[in-house]
Structure 1
């Protein structure tokens, strides 16, 4: 079988070979181009070879990476960070996308198990039981990315989602907001958790760290409690991740006539979809209603108005996962690391006029 080349990847992604090269070396590339490039890499099975930066003598080895959606700008940034850091340690990186399927996730684990892996960086859907079924994963460094402390034998690197929910809510209360709608992300399962009651039932589960929605909600509830604002289930729901999901969520919120004065959205894309619907209804942002997004993607800066948002550095998350894997390999150190987040204040939020 003919070996897949950079030119093949470029042709499938609809980009230039130079763009593919920049992506592979962790260079600056527009989000959509990087996403298309990573999707082509995964589709074609292109093996990413990193350049040698250290004179380390050891056998040829790989870092395996499994993410839920390689075409997602969020995960493509994570992969860029992984590639950049792996470059320093002479590892080849093999990327697999589970495409939001637990079955495909298991298939990815089986495929990677046939390679001489030294480490696996794994962003699981809802269970890591498959890891225990394959012998190689008992012998190599494992880093669970994006999930909080779901299994003690492995290292974890994740964002502080509770703090994110807290910061967003606390800021809105300081602006005088009392009716703050929390729109959490539907957990990425083949059978998604779509009701807030179902999500709340998981609060005592040992693996609740899987659920980003739940951690953000804990921060939301804490901030409300500190301001003596009662928690109201009517002001909480779950949503998908797209612009259209945001548009429809805004329609549902307005239809319920809940007298909302602020919304915390799933991500920046959802927030921009909400902005579109609300403007169509003559609702002014931020004069009538404030909105906060998540991720601090480029769309947050160019939306109208520019979005106040939670900044999560996906690129840094990827880098830190590699560093955590190296600590396991070199120091036999298992760690749990929470990466900090920040609130970026722009023009989609404003104080309530009393």
Structure 2
């Protein structure tokens, strides 16, 4: 209803007849976050521009059929393990766990039927000055062969006039691994603008990144310094300025598809800043996670129809995914993704929007 900070309705229906709901959270001056229960997806994010207009700045689909037919992770909650695990295999307390291999020789984003394909339950709506929705999903023991039952809760909350906060928690009944993220594809000119993100100016608060092999698994070496490489975004640089340089790492990732090492020690801090030149939109991303995957949309190939009936092509959007480092279950030198009974996995990310004033 008019003036309400929360709206709930049916967005679509699964083949088994269950409803997929959509929750709209409203901030100030037209700012909106729209979340659907399938995949706990951020389906739309409406943000102001420098001229007083508003646009949706995340890629995805206008109707649920698009999410059901294409698994592209648009806006999805990814788990149990975001990013890649080499050969889909890791050891935990002497047991070798074999996961499904679904990305070349590796496991990616939770396997064949990850959290992005699950119907989450709405467990709480909080209407008021900071409107929020809390969703829950329970992953059973041996789901995608991961050990332990995992109880997950996540909350999307509008925490400022143009600020969206995402908080996630998980608990287990036996030792396991967990690494969750949101996989939104951002274009700050607008999801249907038809413009590339290559001229977006990006800043990443990291001195190091993880070099990868051609299958996107981190190399067996210490994190590399960004200084003197095309991966140095410590100062604002256009995403596309150096993306075609003859660098082996850019070749391995077909562009940027690398984890930046944040070293946050569990404290919320600025990780990245993205600015669009025409709309004047600015997004600052704060997180408490130790890594940020910067992905320049290299594998978007025009085979998927997105919002507004537009084909989604390479570099139409980019992802900034906060999470634990890839292949960490096999790398004792990396931040640990282990979760034991009695512990709580926590993840907090904030997306703060502003506009250029000069």
TM-score by length of 1: 0.26
Structure that is richer in strand per residue:
2
For the pair shown, the structure with the greater C-alpha radius of gyration is 1
Structure that is richer in helix per residue:
1
